[in-house]
Amino acid sequence: MDPGLRRDDNTVPTHIAIIMDGNGRWAKARGLPRTAGHKKGAESLRRAMNACRKHGVKHLTVYAFSSENWNRPADEINDLMQLLQHYLRNELQTLHENQIRLRFIGDLSQLDEHLREQVDETVNQTTRHSQFNLTIALSYGGRQEITRAVQKLAKDIQAGRLKPEQVTEQIIAGALDTAELPEPDLLIRTGGEQRISNFLLWQSAYTEFYFCDTLWPDFGESELEAALQDFSKRERRFGTAGES
């Protein structure tokens, strides 16, 4: 990889978000059930997280299951939830060994109670870790997240805890599921589609986007490094005129 891409280089993103797309097509191309693609996708997540840690990225947020994914066939939903349970069981030791804090964003009230308990338990066991942050978006939709935040603020106003004129961008950001997280610097979408699909709508206002054709199960360290390399060349202006 380019020697210019170093840990102490401020061109390395602090926070990467990934839309892990292409599991189904990967499986189909091999005559396998879609679940085989998701299973392979869980391995890619492990690889991507290790590559992020190696390059000094501090936050990784991945889109594991969208609000819209509840419309998929029941078998596929069950398989994905089982895969998640399996992942949580198997990853806990790695999270501890590498001081990784795990978080979830999304409407977890829709999950089966047993899975929700397992999610809460795993999250609670990692709250003291601070070397790296893995956030899994589950039953997540950006519009739904903003709607929940607005409902929460409306209740605060109704109860007299907040005045309408006190509602600022900061207050809204603080009512989102991502309140504790920095905004993503780089959003990667694999699988060839070039859209945001209801992911981190508020948070990605100034995020750099990187699209690649690689299907998620084939995404590895070198693909992540290509995205980092591309990011390091971007000029981020955050809406200003920038330097000329």
Contact between 77 and 69 under an 8 Å Cβ cutoff? The reply is: yes
Is the Cβ of residue 42 or residue 153 nearer to ligand FPP in the bound state? 42
DSSP code per residue over 60-118:
EEEEEEEGGGGGS-HHHHHHHHHHHHHHHHHHHHHHHHTTEEEEEES-GGGS-HHHHHH
Residue 198 engages ligand FPP in binding (rule: CB under 6 A): no
Q: Can you tell me which of 13, 23, 61, 135 binds ligand FPP, judged by CB under 6 A? A: 23
Q: Can you tell me which of 81, 83, 173, 201 binds ligand FPP, judged by CB under 6 A? A: 83
Contact between 43 and 49 under an 8 Å Cβ cutoff? The reply is: no
**Cα separation, 218 vs 40, whole angstroms:** 8
Closest CA to 143 of 186, 191, 92, 196: 196
Binding mask 155-184 for ligand FPP (x = CB under 6 A): ------------------------------
Residue 45 engages ligand FPP in binding (rule: CB under 6 A): yes
Residue 106 engages ligand FPP in binding (rule: CB under 6 A): no
**Cα separation, 70 vs 230, whole angstroms:** 34
Is the Cβ of residue 114 or residue 152 nearer to ligand FPP in the bound state? 114
DSSP code per residue over 208-223:
EEEE--S-GGG--HHH
Question: Shortest Cβ distance from residue 136 to ligand FPP (Å)?
Answer: 5
Q: Can you tell me which of 149, 191, 203, 210 binds ligand FPP, judged by CB under 6 A? A: 191
Phi, psi of 59 (to 5 degrees): -130, 135
Q: Can you tell me which of 49, 119, 136, 181 binds ligand FPP, judged by CB under 6 A? A: 136
Element (H, E) at 13: none
Residue 20 engages ligand FPP in binding (rule: CB under 6 A): yes
Which residues are tagged catalytic?
21, 69
Q: Footprint of ligand FPP on residues 52-81 (CB under 6 A)?
A: 64, 69
Question: Shortest Cβ distance from residue 162 to ligand FPP (Å)?
Answer: 35
How many residues does this entry show for the chain?
244
> Which ranges constitute the DSSP H helices of 159-205?
169-175
**# residues near ligand FPP by CB under 6 A:** 19
Is the Cβ of residue 125 or residue 229 nearer to ligand FPP in the bound state? 125
Residue 85 engages ligand FPP in binding (rule: CB under 6 A): no
Contact between 70 and 77 under an 8 Å Cβ cutoff? The reply is: yes
For β-strands 186-189 and 59-66, DSSP reports them as unpaired
User: Which residues here bind ligand FPP, judged by CB under 6 A?
Assistant: 20-25, 34, 38, 41-42, 45, 64, 69, 83-84, 87, 136, 191, 216
